[in-house]
A and B are shown apart, each in its own frame.
Chain A
Amino acid sequence: MRASTKVVAAGLLLVALVLAGVVSYYADSSPDGLNKVAQDKGFSDTEKEHAAGDGPFAGYESSFIDDGRLSGGFAGVVGVLLVLGLAGGLTYAVRRREPSDDRT
């Protein structure tokens, strides 16, 4: 089975959007490894308030959407598209231009 580059790209994007937009609602909300260790060892109170903690998407929630499922899902989709744009633009800008390489 061989897929075209476009199919692989579309597949990756679709999986990313579904994971961030839908599946993320079912993620475990327990503290992660570092936060749990910080709680258990008593240094979680050294954490300082996040300077961007009042932003519209802080904590992977859209502050302007009430519904929990939509709020998190929309934030996830915004994140996926923003990361795609930034990382895609950056890597596209630094890529090797093939025609100039081939003709030398």
Chain B
Amino acid sequence: MHVPDGFLDAPTSVATGVVAAVAVGVALRGARRELDDRTAPLAGLVAAFIFATQMLNFPVASGTSGHLLGGALAAILVGPFTGLLCMATVFLVQSLLFADGGITALGTNIDLMGVVTVLVGWSVFKALQTVLPKRLSMVAPSAGIAALVSVPASAAVFVLLYAVGGTADLSLSTLATAMIGVHVLVGIGEAVITFLAVGSIVAVRPDLVYGARPVLETRELQIRTARAAT
């Protein structure tokens, strides 16, 4: 869903650039609390993994493809602030080196595919964690559902941006139907990849998955109670 140069007008692109810069600034401060000596090396690898996976377009409908966005995945693996830093790095490299996503649209792309997917993905994941049983087996399915929701949310925000600063005169309801429709399908692929990636790491090292830590803490507390009782 990389937005090229020219889809949005200059004022809108400047505004989205400012929002992206502020978001990255906030993430730089917030990431400090998420990263320690153990998890910091993994954050770069998560960014590299998302870059690689974004190259893999899968078919979603006739003549249409989609690829992972990865904001929900990044947020759940390394934390939302660090996740946004990972996503912003991916979009910067894609735009400057691979001509994927416009340079004036870099802020737009960080906002849509980074800020929105991280915020929506993380919020849905945390909400599910609150209502579902606190078990490790719930982490990967919750991550998949969070990923599924994050993609059409991102498409919906694109439509809002297009309503503000789109360079063509379009029926916004038609654009919304088309964009959200196709991105629900992309979201299914996003959900599968996110489920598999989070599930694989939870299976071998749940303590390395940021979103799994509250569950692990609950588990440790239960062990201590049992020890006290004996």
Contact residues of A with B, CB < 8 Å? Answer: 1-3, 5, 7-9, 12-13, 15-17, 19-20, 23-24, 27-34, 36-38, 40-43, 46-53, 55, 57-60, 75-76, 78-92, 94-98
Contact = CB atoms under 8 A, between A and B. Distances in A.
B137 to A, nearest CB: 15
Interface of B: 1-7, 28, 31-33, 35-49, 51-53, 55-60, 63-67, 78, 82, 85-86, 89-90, 92-100, 102-103, 155, 158, 166-168, 170, 174-175, 178-179, 182-183, 185-186, 201, 203-205, 208
Closest 7 CB pairs of A and B: A88-B44, A87-B47, A48-B6, A43-B168, A20-B52, A91-B43, A95-B40
Chain A at the B interface: mostly helix, strand, loop or mixed?
Answer: helix
Given A1-B204, A3-B205, A36-B182, A87 B56 contact: no
B65 A28 contact: yes
A17 B52 contact: yes
Contacts, number: 237
Of A5, A23, A94, which is in contact with the most chain B CB atoms at under 10 Å from its CB?
Answer: A94
Given A16-B49, A42-B168, A87-B48, A24 B97 contact: no
A50 B40 contact: no
Nearest to A7: B204
A81 to B, nearest CB: 8
24 contacts: A1-B203, A5-B38, A5-B205, A8-B201, A12-B48, A19-B49, A19-B53, A20-B52, A24-B55, A33-B65, A43-B166, A43-B167, A47-B4, A47-B7, A52-B97, A59-B99, A60-B98, A80-B51, A86-B44, A90-B44, A92-B44, A94-B28, A94-B32, A95-B36
